[in-house]
Amino acid sequence: MSNLSRRTLLFAAAGSALAACAGPGGDADEKTVTGFDGPVEGQLSFAHWRAEDKDVLEQIVASFVQKNPKVTVRQDISPSNDYQSTALQKIRGGSVGDAFTAFRGAQFTQIASVGVFADLSTQSDLVGKFDPKLIAAGTSESKQLGLPYQLVFNMPVTNVDLLAKYGYTDLPKDWDGFLGMLDGLKAKDVTPIAWPGGDAANAGQLLNTMVMNNIPSDDALGKFETGEVKATDEWFVHTLKQYAQLRPYVQSGANGTGSEAAQQLFATQKAALLATGSFMAGAVRKLGAKFPLGLYAPITTTADKAKYEGVFNATFILGINAKSSKQGAALAWLKHLADPAVAGVYANGTSQHVTVKDVEYTNEDLKSFAPWLTRKTLLAPRFQFNNLDVRSAVENATVQVVGGTDPAKAAEAAQRVIDQKR
Amino acid sequence: MRFSKSLLLFPVPALALYGTFFVLPAVQGLQYSTTDWDGFSPSFHNVGLDNFREVATADDLFRNALGNNLKFLLAVVIGQTVLALFLAVLLAARSRGSTWLRGLFFLPTILSSVSVAFVWRFVYDPNFGLANRLTGLHESYLGDEKKAIFFVAITQIWFHAGQMMIIYLAGINQIPPELYEAARTDGANRWQQFRHITWPLVAPATTLVVAYTTIQSFKAFDLILGLGGNPPRGALDILSTRIYTTFANNQLGYAAAESVVFMLAIAAVTVAQNRATRLAHR
């Protein structure tokens, strides 16, 4: 081997070693960004977490492609918790997620902070199709970076017929009344609440309604991370004691129950309430439930002290990747989704309300949930957590209490983790 | 024989691959472990050994995951090794029945861990699951804070015992049959034959099984996430899932420090186990 080729090899090896150890923080590969005026063509990646909406979105893709024959749309779907964990890493390079979605709260804030959202503020013909009251969760520093698409109610779903059968047509408006109703249902051999305590993603949904009147502020749970509130505070220990009161009224082995099993209990009319949210209506229907569905949030205070009746969340925040080379096509895709007729297909096909104006809801469940669009509801506090470990500590405390742990001890253990991790 | 310098080129592709995909990421991991990098920001700070100090002294979640991992490891290593050896001894004889049974016991190994987790989630479901139906119990299984990790261990044993059985079968088939004939002539019963012939002579297989099972137990990531959700509750959190949660929490520097400790823990346990296996076979 000549001296030159040996030296070349040496330089190449040293160069690659230095490049690899150059330190964190390097940016992903640069691509040509075309801007919103770019052509509506090529294969568009739409990254999201709603595998259950895939078929309905395929219908919408088909109508989009019919209008724009030079473009195709690929759905890049990850399970919701994985999406929460890894979406930012995947989409920041721009190869996945020309158009993408984000969860309200921590994920939206992170993605916005690294500049992955293209600014939609100037796209008035797109933004104007949404209800302005419901898209605030997509703004950052006065810019409209994303557009929340789904409007869900993170509160227990009810079997209206079963409750009516046992005389519960007007549902209780205070905690004692709620416990009385649960007691009455249990006496009739009905499991009052199906609760997926074994599924971290859904076990925590009940926390939204359990705290909405105990500490009626939509950033209350986020204050765990700043230290402004503590798990050992009286209001939270009181909330945990209320969880302890629910022990006799959830299904046997609730802490080991997954979402599918909880849905099954509810769909087969063995349970009267499904303590998750309106987003499970579609899954319950797929399991064969024919009865009318309603929504109900337990009021944890006396009726006169209750500030809110329920909880909502505007999420599935649509955005366009600032690193995408197909921003023109991505914008056209978002405009298509924002068309009231198309949004209606999505809403009625997935049993979820949307934030788009002038949508006609034909789905019976959506019609039944519609009164909640104008009731006194709180933006879901659970989604104010930015730190997964802090969120888990708080939510695990509730699960452990239902499993038999003393509320004060669970609160202390949670606070210890919060102090270490916040 | 004349040594040609051009021979030095032959290991270059392997060394390049090893260097690129193992050495450099490992060095980079060490480098990250001394920073507070969040995984996406352009800037970061060097924090020296602070991450390691925190892991060692002020992280209940990591300590809990380590404790769970050791419980899981003990249960799986003991349960899986004993079951694999038991099955191998029973099925060592060549017959149509034993061949069929070997295939049956090996079957779970070819399934994906996600499928296994999905199936066992239904087995363990307190209301509809097979486990409560068969036993008549009212256990909550994965919901039981103290026992949940052992129920995952049972799934792991079911999943991989057949694979370890094959390693033991290979070891047993290497033992000369004359040794058993001589032992029988001397009046040794089946237990004595096992204790004084089979057990010492399958030592290499045992070392392999124990080491492999140990590493498998530390890395039972997908099975835990499949059974316990993401992130799993404290009762099901093990080191690999803890590191993933830290990474997902945008603390890449801290996750790298946890990974280094994780690697050291695997090395320490493997060395200790090798010594224990050698002692047990003396």
- Alpha helix positions (H), chain B: 12-18, 24-32, 50-57, 60-90, 96-106, 113-124, 130-135, 148-173, 177-185, 190-193, 199-201, 203-218, 221-228, 239-248, 252-280
- Residue A136 per-residue DSSP state: G
Which residues are paired to A319 by β-bridges?
A100
CATH 3.40.190.10 domain locations along chain A: 42-152+313-371, 157-312+373-421
| Per-residue pLDDT at A33 | 61
Q: What is the mean pLDDT of residues B41-65?
A: 93
Query: Which positions 377-396 of A are in contact with B (Cβ < 8 Å)?
Result: 387-389, 392, 396
Query: Which of B31, B60, B228 faces A417 most closely, judged by CB atoms?
Result: B60
What is the spatial distance between Cα A376 and Cα A308, in angstroms, rounded to a whole number? Answer: 5
State the CB neighbour count (10 A cutoff) for residue A383: 24
Across the interface, do B230 and A257 touch by the CB < 8 Å criterion? no
What pLDDT band is residue B271 in, cutting at 50, 70 and 90? confident
Dihedral angle of Cα A345, A346, A351, A357, to the nearest 10 degrees: -90
Per-residue pLDDT tens over the stretch A301-342 = 999 999 999 999 999 999 999 989 999 999 999 999 999 999
Name residues 21-50 of chain B within 8 A of A (Cβ): 24-25, 27-28, 31-32, 35, 37, 39-44
- Asked whether the beta carbons of residue A110 and residue B40 sit closer than 8 angstroms, the reply is yes
ipTM of the complex: 0.83
Using a CB-CB distance cutoff of 8 angstroms, which residues of chain A are in contact with residue B9? Answer: 1
Give me the sign of the Cα torsion angle B26, B30, B36, B42. negative
The whole-angstrom separation of Cα B229 and Cα A32 is: 38
> Nearest by CB to A88, which of B40, B145, B245?
B40
Residues 252..281 of B with a Cβ closer than 8 Å to A: which? 252-253
pLDDT of residue B85: 96
Reported as a single tens digit per residue, the pLDDT across A79-98 is 877 787 778 878 887 778 99
Sign, Cα dihedral of A180, A185, A189, A195: negative
pLDDT band at A74; cut points 50, 70, 90: very high
Q: Specify the pLDDT at position B2.
A: 72
The residues near A151 (Cβ < 8 Å, ≥ 6 apart) are A134, A312, A313, A314, A352, A353, A354, A355, A373
Looking at domain A42-152+313-371, does it have CATH number 3.40.190.10?
yes
Assign domain B46-280 to a CATH class: mainly alpha
> Which CATH number does A157-312+373-421 carry?
3.40.190.10
CA distance B71 to B50: 28
Average pLDDT, chain B: 91
A195 vs A203: CA distance, rounded Å: 7
Average of per-residue pLDDT across A270-292: 95
What pLDDT does residue B219 have?
Answer: 82
Structure tokens at A123: 């796209």
Tens digits of per-residue pLDDT, A355-390? 999 999 999 999 999 999 999 999 899 888 888 899
A278 touches A314 (CB < 8 A): no
Q: Tell which of B7, B30, B55, B127 to mutate to test the A interface (max A CBs under 10 Å).
A: B127
Q: Please tell me if residue B127 touches chain A, with a CB cutoff of 8 Å.
A: yes
pLDDT band at A76 (very low <50, low <70, confident <90, very high): very high
Given a cut of 60, is residue A18 above it in pLDDT? no
Asked if pLDDT for residue A225 goes beyond 70, the answer is yes
Decide if B233 touches A, using CB distance below 8 A. yes
Residue A7 has pLDDT above 80, yes or no: no
Tell which B residues from 133 to 162 touch A, by Cβ distance under 8 Å.
138-145, 148
Taking only residues 168 to 197 of chain A, the set having a beta carbon closer than 8 angstroms to any beta carbon of chain B reads 197
Distance CA B112, CA B243 (A): 22
Structure tokens at B200: 């010492």
Please report the pLDDT score of residue B282 as a whole number.
Answer: 67
Kindly list the residues from chain B whose CB atom is less than 8 angstroms away from the CB atom of residue A388: 231, 245, 248-249
In tens, the pLDDT along A390-403 reads 999 999 999 999 99
Q: What backbone torsions phi and psi does residue A315 show, to the nearest 5 degrees? A: -140, -160
Q: Do B233 and A25 touch (CB under 8 A)?
A: no
Element (H, E) at B38: none
Q: Which of A1, A114, A258 sits opposite B6 (nearest CB)?
A: A1
Give the residue, A16 or B111, on which the prediction is more confident.
B111
Residue A20 contacts B, CB cutoff 8 Å: yes
Residue whose C-alpha is closest to residue A333's, from A56, A72, A94: A72
Q: How confident is the model at residue A24 (pLDDT cuts 50, 70, 90)?
A: low
